[in-house]
Structure 1
Amino acid sequence: MSLPYPRVEVALVLVAILLFSPGCSSPPRGESDSKPTSEPELAVESARPMSAERAALHLASFDKVWTTIRDRHYDETLGGVDWEAVRTELRPRVVAATSDEEVRRILQDMISRLGLSHFQIIPSAAIDLMEEVEEAEDERQGFAEDSDAAPVSGESATERAGDGKASSGARESASKRKRRRGGLGRPGLDLRVLDGRAIVTRVRPGGPADRAGIRTGWSIVEIDGRNIGPVIETLLETYADQSLGSFSMRQAIRGRFTGQPGDEIAVVLEDADDARHEVEVELAPSPGKFARFGQIGEYVEFESRTIDGDIGYIRFDIFLGPSLLPDFQAEIEKYRDLPAPGVIVDIRGNPGGIGMFASALSGWFFENDGAPDSGLELGRMVTRDRGYPLIFSVNPRVDAYPGKVAVLVDGCSVSTSEIMAGGLRDLGRARVFGTRTAGAALPSVIERLPNGDAFQYAIANYISKSGEVLEGRGVEPQEVVELSREALLDGRDNVIEAAVHWIRAE
């Protein structure tokens, strides 16, 4: 899956019945490409001489992936793909491969023929990195328990107008910088590609980007001396008319903002007047809570506040961790007792997580009438044998929140986010604002391969409450609201404003 950053994109994927988005390592649906689509920095391992033993492990891995899809895919027709022909074509290429990365590309090519989300090969080094991340987090938390010292943070950087190119100093520092992608460092910002430009959509107050002087609405021009314009052009062409396009473009650019706490990233941005600002963003640890589930781990950032006087606003960036459910409950009860006329649940950019969390959270918006079975559901998973489906049942709560509910989504809302938004919409309990979601809502599992890599594959198809297949289609909001750069430059969020206007209306 792809969580907020590419270390997640490669390593932190769907496990068991988790519902995460696919990594950007897969080509767009319906395309086959033997070239790697992830960035070179994320390739994880360099080529090395292939021993006979290693070659045998790769061949066994190919056979396992091919056989697993043949026997366990939820659609026994594989969407019409001639799976025997695929094996005949690609197996000899694995035999002739000379590096681990070449084998990964072949395997990714094979599974991309299905044209579905939640199928990917996860390099072994990415999983090893997850272990390093967890160890580092353990050390960090241990330090925090014994000290009142603040976590590593960035210093404010000088911003100045430039001539459109990064200074020689910035380029020199960038060339000397040997950051490892996928570390614990975070820049404290989010972005989207709007009208062909990478626009800063959120800046965490007090975070690295904020201290560097970066503001919402600014356009990102260069990262570490590299102009990202051509990157965006390529991404726009590659993901044209693809439901995962927005998500994939965001991840590709956010991947350049990763590293270890203390690493500095040179960034050139343009403000509302197209004046250039050259800043250094020093990465810092995430302020969120670290959560682990199986081979998946990520920081969970949870935000709740009152806006426009008395309207509740809740935002969280992943459906994961033991703290999410009680944190959500506490805030909902607070807004219920206020009482708030409406609550906004912002899951824009949320890549999913534990599927049943969508059911658990949604229950707080339905009052328990004492019936033994409410019959409420967000949707259901249908497996290959068409037996008993996995139903995302909603359990109503005693003293549930009775007010209006607005759910905010966009093209970077994936999997569990789509299940929750679409289900609440179909049940008539919430109004959805924003843009169409990513259309990647398949449950999947992860299995280790003989060569040490891992294989993520979908095991069922998701059908929404209204009977729609979300895969490749996504959830269409009742109120389509495109995020506005002009509003962001003015310090506003026009999607939130639309939700507030609806809540205030009689």
Structure 2
Amino acid sequence: MAIAKRGLVLGATAVAAAGVIVTGAGLHLSQSKAFFEESPKEVIDEVWQLIDNTYVDATFNQTDWEAVRTDYLSRDYSSPEAAYDAVREMLELLEDPYTRFMDPDEFRNMQIDTSGELTGVGIQITQEEETDEIVVVAPIEDTPAFEAGLRSKDVIVEIDGQSTEGMELNDAVSLIRGPVGSGVTLTVRRDAEIIDFDLTRARIEIHPVRYSVNDAPEGPIGYIRLTQFSSNAASEMKEAIDDLESQNVVGYVLDLRSNPGGLLYSSIEIARMWIDEGGIVSTVNRQGVADEEIANNRALTDRPLVVLVDGGSASASEILSGALQDNGRAQLVGTQTFGKGLVQSVRSLPDGSGVAITIAKYLTPSGRDINQQGIEPDIVVELSEEEQEELSDNRDRIGTLEDPQYRQAQELVLQIVRANQNTAIEPQ
């Protein structure tokens, strides 16, 4: 069973706060909207069937899934809202924060596609399984959240003064979203400190790739920063590599820090630009290996490559960095990645509601399951609190020698360049 790449969500959250959402799943329209409205029980059976057919865990979290169907369909529901509550209750049995139901309003709020235009404050959030805390995966560059200084791992404790304790992820998203130009205050816990962030919601056009050339004695270094795996990421990455190759760079630093993920096919296309041969990722559903992606001998460059990662590098970022690391194509510098190795399919239901279902997990080429584990860099470079604040306040220093993690990455590239030069001049 092959899985269609364009229908899969690999963001660290399948719901991304403030309208930052990457979806693309095919529509599932088996019954009419009117029929669902007249028979609210049908939405329960529809969701049950989707879980039964596609959910990654064939034991359904050690639940008798047939008995669950019998139980919920034996009840009477006076309205669609009552059925929606029942669906949410049913899905809670799976204990999977990424598999969730969205009523029509929530689903409409989520349906910003991956064209690169986002609405909101520009963060992706997740809900910790053990604590139920609402946690920032990463802010997206050039968004209100990024400009204000929100960081990966910040815990959102209040939204406009309302406590998030016991709050569902979708409810947090609804509170954070709102009209462009309106304000929202996020109160976060960062270590032992409580910080208020007053943000103005905006509509933002995102270009996921930025690049530049940094001079070095051994030759120019190409620096590429990839902020998310949207539908235009691969084309922008190709343009960047082609341009940098034309400038005769001697090596590359690829920056995936605070990149929360995106589309599976985007990460695969970009991996093929760097890897000439070898595996990229295996997608595993409950029947076993459903799909294996490999390089196709179309790499755009074979020059030395070092990749920057951190705790905000999630999902599709981990696919790319894991593939590059496992194939020996690149060394990783920074800190341990986020650890999100699950794939969601987002399905539309005929009444305008929707459901996101965890249908698979992915493994790196060497078979690593990174979910909740993350990927360890080859060279760990921690940033102090002062260094983080310095880079946050002076973003033009990111990707320069004033950026400690980049400085280490560039030195590693130059070490490889020097070693290659010495090998080339050795007498044969």
- Give the TM-score, by structure 2 length: 0.68
Q: How many residues align?
A: 376
User: Structure 1 residues 269 and 325 mapped into 2: Cα distance closer, same or farther (>3 Å)?
Assistant: closer
1:80 lines up with 2:62 in the alignment: yes
Distance 1:197 1:108 in 2: 18
2:292 counterpart SS class: strand
Retained in 2: the 8 A contact 1:5–1:258?
A: no
Distance 2:202 2:185 in 1: 15
1:469 lines up with 2:369 in the alignment: yes
1:381 counterpart SS class: strand
Residues 72-101 of structure 1: CA deviation (Å, up to 9, x unaligned)? 334433453332343455555xx3556655
Partner of 1:377: 279
Q: How does 1:229-244 map to 2 (within 5 A)?
A: 231=164, 234=165
Distance 2:136 2:360 in 1: 36
Opposite residue 80 of structure 1, the aligned amino acid is: Q
1:57 lines up with 2:23 in the alignment: no
Distance 2:146 2:314 in 1: 27
Partner of 1:394: 295
Retained in 2: the 8 A contact 1:364–1:401?
A: no
Partner of 1:173: none
> In structure 1, which of residues 113, 128, 133 is the aligned counterpart of residue 93 of structure 2?
113
Partner of 2:266: 357
Retained in 2: the 8 A contact 1:216–1:488?
A: no
Q: How does 1:175-214 map to 2 (within 5 A)?
A: 184-186=119-121, 214=148
The offset of 1:329, in angstroms, is: 1.1
Partner of 1:242: none
Partner of 1:319: 229
Residues 419-465 of structure 1: CA deviation (Å, up to 9, x unaligned)? 11211111111222344434433344333335431122233342321
1:15 lines up with 2:25 in the alignment: yes
Distance 2:230 2:324 in 1: 20
Distance 1:16 1:261 in 2: 28
User: Structure 1 residues 344 and 109 mapped into 2: Cα distance closer, same or farther (>3 Å)?
Assistant: farther
Opposite residue 309 of structure 2, the aligned amino acid is: L
1:315 counterpart SS class: strand
Distance 1:351 1:210 in 2: 13
User: Structure 1 residues 468 and 392 mapped into 2: Cα distance closer, same or farther (>3 Å)?
Assistant: same
Distance 1:337 1:350 in 2: 27
Unaligned runs of 5+ in 2: 1-8, 28-33, 128-132, 392-396, 398-402, 417-428
User: Structure 1 residues 287 and 482 mapped into 2: Cα distance closer, same or farther (>3 Å)?
Assistant: same
Percent of pairs with identical residues:
22
Unaligned runs of 5+ in 1: 18-51, 142-182, 240-247, 289-299, 368-373
1:67 lines up with 2:49 in the alignment: yes
Partner of 2:245: 336
Distance 1:224 1:414 in 2: 24
1:226 lines up with 2:144 in the alignment: no
Residues 267-305 of structure 1: CA deviation (Å, up to 9, x unaligned)? 7999xxx9x9x98654443132xxxxxxxxxxx533223
Distance 2:355 2:121 in 1: 27
Partner of 1:128: 108
1:313 counterpart SS class: strand
Alignment root-mean-square deviation, CA? 4.8
Partner of 1:21: none
1:287 lines up with 2:205 in the alignment: yes
1:301 lines up with 2:301 in the alignment: no
Opposite residue 287 of structure 1, the aligned amino acid is: E
Distance 1:405 1:364 in 2: 14
Distance 1:436 1:96 in 2: 49
1:259 lines up with 2:178 in the alignment: yes
- Give the TM-score, by structure 1 length: 0.59
Distance 2:415 2:146 in 1: 34
The offset of 1:334, in angstroms, is: 2.8
User: Structure 1 residues 114 and 345 mapped into 2: Cα distance closer, same or farther (>3 Å)?
Assistant: farther
Residues 366-411 of structure 1: CA deviation (Å, up to 9, x unaligned)? 35xxxxxx4x11121234444x73111112336514122314242x
